[in-house]
Structure 1
């Protein structure tokens, strides 16, 4: 790391410690000899680890920080660049932001509303500072037939996995259940013009990308997936990750309601647009199998701990669809 840090106006590193969280890129906590602390990011994700994409993220985060939003901007190097190439990788250096992660169910309802309002403010600011977007003529949703094919393949891989353990049994049972859910709901696929408006989004807004100091958000982190998407869908998707029971996946709909009302109050989306987003995210989850694809097709087990609650949430959501819709849109 010393070779990378020589590009910056910092004291030499005293300690370098990997940061455990994160599935895409690598991060390190750097303690310098002068007592300063930094976060060094190494971009390794193939989809985002290119200079054009990283610089777009850096411009956006610097502009958001200039607006007073809790977004840490990258630090410039000695030659005033925010991206440093070293050893075939791209790096960026950030100030270390003190704080801790809090799951959404740890927040009281008022704080849930403040967090929803913050996401709405970020979406509004991104609309103003990022490149203008032309609305797509259509936004396609997943096809049941393709999902069923993947389910059958994954179920076969789970059944024959060795050693066959409790996780494989759970996966096999949930995949069988998924076929039943797909059969029940296959005619509810969103149409290509049903999506809410597209805009710039954070792309990965959840509890591990938000830092708190006390009851106040100190930083929104990890803008690696900054990209155009249906904006209201991020508000729905984030709420399903923030306000769920971490064992069962069931959503705390009281907290969801406070979040959604505050988000809508910023003007980032109307109730009708949020309702459309709820249906599309529900359909996305009904057809989403990435956690098991990582395990059985990529032999990557990092997402395994996420699967039980995610599968439980989908089953519950299918049963309580109207209550979930009401919490988000009314």
Structure 2
């Protein structure tokens, strides 16, 4: 059976159950494997990549790589996960016994197809750190590893040279130019022997194996064939060499790109150890030495060896001229600062670069205030963001904040680093701080509601309702039609006190559903300009401050409530009626919200008790409770009715 597009289509149909109609050879370099893009029978059908595994056809290795891809994907890394064949194996054999693997097609273009940007280099470094953070199980050393001989070039270069000669056969003369570099590597090999313990490494982390959709963020990582346990310095060195080079075939390192790769990596994983930084140059040399397994696989495919042996020599000559890598100094670490945020008596702190904390304080205003520098209690929960080695050994928790989070519950400290493919931790930091503060407030007696809160014509009103009840749409209509101030959208808490009921808001993104825009009148345009969505007819999202600015209204942290208004759908109206205490209590009971439904792993360290059993009844007794029955087409009439009505009155 020949290896061509026709045979690939046959394997896709028969072994994987894909309705494959057409395909084309996947462009690439001197790869020992053979790959084709497979198209379905219609334009809407998903595309696939079918790969014939010639480089390492061992079934146990293919199975290990598939399970590794699954684990990496679960950890948030943008890697393709193979599809099982019809017999539930990770591979299928053709009639000649060759294994094939089916992968989802990953959109984007290779980072190396254009000049690498600093943003892409930073993103690549952060993604690489995600690989190195993957858990290494106790039996990892027994997993079927790659046949790379990198370690052999350090520990037994004579045997490694013989293996390379055997793989080259009659082309072994092409190896001779490498001899001087082996001598230089031998003199520098001490740095490679002093490295910290191994981690899971990609092994071939360069611009052709990284995809991007916008030129700034790495959207996919391809080709896991070389995954193995190695010191992380090997991967970091390869990434710096291949992403910071001046261009194809020109391996002079550009300082700004080298710095960007290291900055992205160290901000996510913490600073490299001195030994790791010292090993970057010899690790770069090591990464360019011949790999006998790869050379042998090329010969099996009938591909010429010269390109695979000549290109690395250009890199080695450039590295010799740049030793000891003056273009890759250790990145300067920004001075870290500390910010303590206060909300209604609850406190939480954050540390990080001063510029980051300035952005954090701005995002928190007006809902949280910064404590004076002399009023730091020192024993509050603290979120550490930005570069730094603190917390590298703490366990990773199942956070939904959008970042990688490590926790030391006994010390009440969290370590926050960007998730793979992202470049900022501001939003995750706000989410974690919100969870910490709200849990404290719940323990202090705060009650949380599914409610939007505003000050409408000088009166505090809470619009209460479940999901899709029209809270945000009614809030927008009120803010855009009457003098008002924003307190909270869909996320509020109330506290009963001697002087009444006080409602508080929290910094949280606002979601505006696309279908609501048609009913929002003149507010729709500014919101569309301010928000961002995943695509046409998808919800718009924007920070609360941007939401208020788009509507031209101020924000406020809290307000004294005059009434609760329960929203209800109706075919016509609007109709506003006051509810009795018993009905109000029953309706409110179902609308009490958890303080923190997202970071549930905090329950072990900072429990969130259930609200008091009589919370809804006490709230109904303390405030007038109204029902506003309205169709979406009558939002303007609804808010005009609210603004004009005496909500303290009996009807």
Tell me the TM-score normalized by structure 2. Answer: 0.41
Q: Residue 121 of structure 1 aligns with which residue? A: 130
| Shift of residue 108, structure 1, vs aligned partner | 2.7
CA contact (8 A) 2:194 2:275 kept: no
| Shift of residue 14, structure 1, vs aligned partner | 1.9
Structure 1 CA distance for aligned equivalents of residues 119 and 39 of structure 2: 36
| Shift of residue 221, structure 1, vs aligned partner | 0.6
3-state secondary structure, aligned to 1:64: helix
3-state secondary structure, aligned to 2:23: strand
Q: Residue 40 of structure 2 aligns with which residue? A: 32
| Shift of residue 322, structure 1, vs aligned partner | 4.6
1:172-218 per-position Cα deviation (integer Å, ceiling 9, x unaligned): 8x66xx63x77778644316741232111111111111111113322
Structure 2 CA distance for aligned equivalents of residues 184 and 122 of structure 1: 30
CA contact (8 A) 1:248 1:312 kept: no
Report the CA distance shift for 1:187/1:129 in structure 2 as closer, same or farther (over 3 A): closer
Report the CA distance shift for 1:143/1:7 in structure 2 as closer, same or farther (over 3 A): closer
Query: Structure 1: which 5+ runs fail to align?
Result: 162-167
Find 1:263's aligned residue among 262, 265, 268: 265
Q: Residue 315 of structure 1 aligns with which residue? A: 320
Structure 2 CA distance for aligned equivalents of residues 190 and 238 of structure 1: 22
Find 1:99's aligned residue among 105, 108, 116: 108
1:236-287 per-position Cα deviation (integer Å, ceiling 9, x unaligned): 122101211224310112111121122122226633243143143155268x
CA contact (8 A) 1:140 1:192 kept: no
Count, aligned residues = 300
| Shift of residue 57, structure 1, vs aligned partner | 0.6
1:22-65 per-position Cα deviation (integer Å, ceiling 9, x unaligned): 422110111121332210011001xx221111111101111222
Report the CA distance shift for 1:7/1:119 in structure 2 as closer, same or farther (over 3 A): same
Report the CA distance shift for 1:312/1:71 in structure 2 as closer, same or farther (over 3 A): same
Structure 2 CA distance for aligned equivalents of residues 69 and 51 of structure 1: 24
Structure 1 CA distance for aligned equivalents of residues 264 and 202 of structure 2: 18
Q: Residue 164 of structure 1 aligns with which residue? A: none
Q: Residue 165 of structure 1 aligns with which residue? A: none
Find 2:70's aligned residue among 49, 62, 66: 62
CA contact (8 A) 1:199 1:230 kept: yes
Q: Residue 210 of structure 2 aligns with which residue? A: 210
Report the CA distance shift for 1:283/1:4 in structure 2 as closer, same or farther (over 3 A): closer
| Shift of residue 17, structure 1, vs aligned partner | 1.3
Report the CA distance shift for 1:74/1:187 in structure 2 as closer, same or farther (over 3 A): closer
Structure 2 CA distance for aligned equivalents of residues 315 and 74 of structure 1: 40
CA contact (8 A) 1:116 1:260 kept: yes
Point out the more displaced range, 308-317 or 49-58: 308-317
Q: Aligned runs of 1:5-154 on 2, under 5 Å? A: 5=12, 6-11=14-19, 13-22=20-29, 23-35=31-43, 36=45, 37-45=47-55, 48-87=56-95, 88-103=97-112, 106-124=115-133, 126-127=134-135, 131-132=139-140, 142=154, 146=158
Report the CA distance shift for 1:143/1:53 in structure 2 as closer, same or farther (over 3 A): closer
1:87-113 per-position Cα deviation (integer Å, ceiling 9, x unaligned): 211111111111111229823323321
3-state secondary structure, aligned to 2:130: helix
Q: Which has the higher helix share?
A: 1
Larger Rg, first or second structure (1 or 2): 2
Q: Residue 196 of structure 2 aligns with which residue? A: 196
Report the CA distance shift for 1:133/1:89 in structure 2 as closer, same or farther (over 3 A): closer
**Which of 1 and 2 has higher RCO (CA within 8 Å, sep 6+)?**
1
CA contact (8 A) 2:244 2:254 kept: yes
CA contact (8 A) 1:103 1:243 kept: no
Report the CA distance shift for 1:130/1:69 in structure 2 as closer, same or farther (over 3 A): farther
| Shift of residue 131, structure 1, vs aligned partner | 4.9
Report the CA distance shift for 1:281/1:91 in structure 2 as closer, same or farther (over 3 A): same
Structure 1 CA distance for aligned equivalents of residues 86 and 259 of structure 2: 47
Structure 1 CA distance for aligned equivalents of residues 23 and 113 of structure 2: 30
| Shift of residue 141, structure 1, vs aligned partner | 5.5
| Shift of residue 82, structure 1, vs aligned partner | 2.2
3-state secondary structure, aligned to 2:326: helix
Structure 1 CA distance for aligned equivalents of residues 314 and 263 of structure 2: 25
Report the CA distance shift for 1:82/1:314 in structure 2 as closer, same or farther (over 3 A): same
Q: Which has the higher strand share?
A: 2
CA contact (8 A) 2:37 2:50 kept: yes
3-state secondary structure, aligned to 1:270: coil
3-state secondary structure, aligned to 1:69: coil
1:59-80 per-position Cα deviation (integer Å, ceiling 9, x unaligned): 1111222233211111122333
| Shift of residue 10, structure 1, vs aligned partner | 1.9
